[in-house]
Amino acid sequence: MPSTRASGILLHPTSLPGRFGIGDLGLEAYRFIDFLAGSGQQYWQVLPLGPTGYGNSPYMCYSAVAGNPLLISLELLRDEGFLADEELWHVPNFPGDRVDYEAVVAYKLPLLQKACENFKTRASDIQKTRFAGFCESKAYWLDDYAMYMALKEANEGKSWFEWESDLVTRSPAVLDQWGRRLNTEIVFHKFLQFAFFSQWSQIKQYANERGIEIIGDIPIYVAHDSADVWANPENFCLDEETYLPALMAGVPPDYFSATGQLWGNPVYNWEHLQKTDFKWWIQRFEAMLDYVDIIRIDHFRGFESFWAVELDPEIEPEKRTAEKGEWIEAPGKEFFERLRDQLGKLPILAEDLGVITPEVEELRDYFEFPGMKILQFAFGSDPANPFLPFNFPRNCVVYTGTHDNDTTVGWFNSRPDWERDAILRYLGHISQDGIHWDLLRLAYSSVANLAILPVQDLLGLGNEARMNFPGKAEGNWEWRYWGGALSNELSDRLKSMVHTFGRASQPKELHQ
- What are the tens digits of pLDDT across the range 242-278? 999 999 999 888 766 788 888 889 999 999 999 999 9
Burial 100-129 (b: 16+ CB within 10 A, else e): ebeebbebbeebbeebbebbeeebeeebee
Please check whether residue 162 lies inside any domain of the structure. Answer: no
Predicted confidence at residue 255, as pLDDT, reads 64
Predicted confidence at residue 510, as pLDDT, reads 38
Q: Confidence band (pLDDT; 50, 70, 90) for 60?
A: very high
Averaged confidence pLDDT in the chain: 95
Res 491 pLDDT > 90:
yes
Residue range 340-350, pLDDT digits in tens: 999 988 999 99
CA distances from 334 to 129, 207, 311, 346, 512 (A): 40, 34, 29, 14, 16
250-253: long-range pairs with CB below 8 Å, 24+: 250/307, 250/309, 250/322, 250/325, 251/307, 251/322, 251/354, 251/355, 252/307, 252/322, 252/323, 252/325, 253/322, 253/323
Please check whether residue 116 lies inside any domain of the structure. Answer: no
Residue range 351-410, pLDDT digits in tens: 999 889 999 999 999 999 999 999 999 998 999 999 999 999 999 999 999 999 999 999
The percent of residues in the chain predicted with pLDDT above 70, rounded, is 98
Tell me whether residue 180 is exposed, middle or buried, using C-beta atoms within 10 angstroms of its C-beta: 0 to 12, 13 to 18, 19 or more: exposed
Please check whether residue 336 lies inside any domain of the structure. Answer: yes
Res 511 pLDDT > 50:
no
Q: Pick the catalytic residue: 143, 337, 404, 419?
A: 404
Q: Looking at residues 1-26, what average pLDDT do you find?
A: 93
Res 15 pLDDT > 90:
yes
Amino acid 178 reads W
Please check whether residue 155 lies inside any domain of the structure. Answer: no
Q: Is 351 assigned a catalytic role?
A: yes
Res 1 pLDDT > 80:
no
Sign for the CA dihedral angle at 378, 384, 390, 394 comes to negative
| Beta bridge partner(s), residue 479 | 98
CA distances from 133 to 190, 290, 293, 451, 474 (A): 12, 15, 23, 39, 38
Pick 512 or 22 by higher pLDDT: 22
Q: Pick the catalytic residue: 185, 228, 304, 351?
A: 351
Check if the beta carbon of residue 380 is closer than 8 Å to that of residue 419: yes
Q: Pick the catalytic residue: 166, 298, 337, 419?
A: 298
DSSP 239: -
Residue range 446-483, pLDDT digits in tens: 999 999 999 999 999 999 999 999 878 789 999 999 99
Please check whether residue 241 lies inside any domain of the structure. Answer: yes
| Beta bridge partner(s), residue 8 | 43, 452
**For the chain, what is the domain count?**
1
Predicted confidence at residue 508, as pLDDT, reads 46
Please check whether residue 475 lies inside any domain of the structure. Answer: no
pTM over 0.85: yes
Predicted confidence at residue 497, as pLDDT, reads 97
Question: Read out DSSP for 70-104?
Answer: GGS-HHHHHHTTSS-GGGGT------SSB--HHHH
380-384: long-range pairs with CB below 8 Å, 24+: 380/419, 380/422
Please check whether residue 444 lies inside any domain of the structure. Answer: no
**Domain of 238?**
232-362
Within 13 Å and on the Cβ side, how many CA atoms surround 392?
A: 28
DSSP 485: -
Predicted confidence at residue 512, as pLDDT, reads 34
